[in-house]
């Protein structure tokens, strides 16, 4: 089994989908919705690529695909019912993102111009984006495009995923006892209930810099530098630099290394078809499904984030259709 420290960064890329909403007036804006959405998507994807290039490769394939997908999602936010989002504020977010620290970008603590401000929809109303809601949270169930307005969960409150939690908090804990909690800085004590900051690893109970390729590791302890494509090889127990395979190429444990599918997502399956003990954990990369095409989260093909598989077809997240 291929294991890696993906959950610490999943909020950014799987779940990290950006639909910023800011305070300010759109009436004075000379920036169009299209330009603001394009600039913000480009700034976001470029900053993530600089901080965690492996996750851009795994989730989107490249920065251009990431930008195109997020532009569509942001355009939906700008035209959604009750939204507080507007092009002036989106453009301010785009200008702020390049100067944001990697820890803040990957740890759900985006620059002030990018953080959601209250929309006009009350708790319980149908929504597709945080910017629509008075409470600043659109609670969307897994596998769904639309949800209902509520409020972010504060530290100590029960959660289902990082998206439920207030800014910069992580949903962590054991089994059915997940709560929103602050991340632990370098040198602090860590465990399943006390997660490290996004770019750190929990090493022997202490948050520290993750290990580079060539360092000894133990499968399941997540000490390798996954943001930069370094995972613990399950056979030789050494941090190994990932390679990224294209559709039709071999994936899994290949040639003494680890090859994951480009645009295949954070899990090796289902993108790497045939990956099992019977095949010595080597398979073949499936091409991801395009928006509108058939998909299957269990067997593949899978959708390219932030699109999700809904009723057997890939659908991109678009808040403008949630009513």
The reported pTM is 0.87
pLDDT at 221: 83
pLDDT score for 71: 96
* H or E element in which residue 13 lies: helix 7-13
pLDDT of 224 higher than 90? yes
Region 129-152 average pLDDT: 93
pLDDT at position 211 over 90:
yes
Q: Are 166 and 179 in contact (CB under 8 A)?
A: no
Which element (helix H / strand E) includes 254? strand 250-254
Average pLDDT along the chain = 88
Opening angle at CA 255, ends 59 and 233, nearest 5: 60
Predicted confidence band of residue 30 (pLDDT cuts 50, 70, 90)? confident
Reported as a pLDDT band with limits 50, 70 and 90, residue 155 is very high
pLDDT at residue 67, rounded to an integer = 97
Average pLDDT over residues 109-121: 92
Strand duo 250-254 + 282-285: pairing = antiparallel
Which percentage of the chain shows pLDDT scores above 90? 77
What SS3 class is residue 180? strand
Q: Give residue-wise pLDDT tens across range 163-197.
A: 999 989 999 998 788 999 999 999 999 999 999 99
Q: Where are the alpha helices (DSSP H) in 15-62?
A: 33-51, 53-59
Which pLDDT score, from 0 to 100, does residue 278 have? 79
When pLDDT is cut at 50, 70 and 90, the band that residue 99 belongs to is very high
- Please tell me the predicted confidence (pLDDT) of residue 310: 93
For residue 215, give both structure tokens.
Answer: 């360092």
């Amino acid at each position: 089994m291929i294991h890696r420290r993906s959950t610490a960064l999943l909020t950014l890329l799987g779940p990290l989908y950006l639909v910023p909403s800011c305070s300010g007036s759109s009436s004075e804006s000379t920036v169009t919705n299209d330009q603001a959405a394009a600039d913000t998507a480009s700034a976001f994807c470029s900053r993530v690529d600089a901080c965690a290039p492996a996750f851009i490769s795994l989730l989107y394939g490249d920065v251009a695909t990431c930008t195109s997908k997020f532009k569509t999602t942001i355009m939906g936010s700008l035209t959604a019912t009750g939204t507080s989002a507007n092009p002036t504020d989106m453009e301010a977010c785009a200008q702020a993102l390049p100067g944001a620290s990697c820890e803040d970008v990957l740890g759900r603590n985006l620059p002030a111009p990018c953080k959601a401000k209250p929309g006009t929809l009350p708790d319980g109303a149908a929504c597709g984006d945080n910017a629509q809601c008075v409470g600043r949270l659109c609670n969307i169930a897994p596998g769904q495009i639309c949800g209902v307005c509520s409020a972010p969960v504060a530290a100590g409150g029960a959660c289902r995923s990082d998206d439920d939690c207030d800014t910069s908090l992580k949903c962590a804990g054991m089994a059915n006892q997940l709560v929103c909690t602050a991340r632990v800085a370098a040198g602090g004590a860590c465990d399943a209930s006390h997660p490290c900051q996004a770019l750190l690893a929990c090493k022997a109970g202490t948050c520290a810099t993750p290990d580079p390729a060539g360092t000894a590791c133990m499968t399941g302890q997540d000490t390798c530098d996954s943001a930069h494509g370094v995972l613990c090889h399950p056979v030789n127990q050494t941090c190994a630099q990932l390679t990224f395979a294209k559709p039709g190429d071999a994936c899994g444990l290949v040639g003494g290394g680890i090859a994951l599918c480009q645009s295949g997502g954070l899990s090796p399956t289902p993108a790497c078809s045939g990956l099992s003990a019977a095949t010595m954990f080597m398979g073949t990369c499936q091409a991801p499904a395009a928006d509108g095409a058939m998909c299957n989260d269990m067997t593949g093909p899978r959708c390219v984030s932030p699109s999700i598989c809904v009723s057997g077809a890939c659908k991109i997240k678009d808040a403008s259709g949630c009513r």
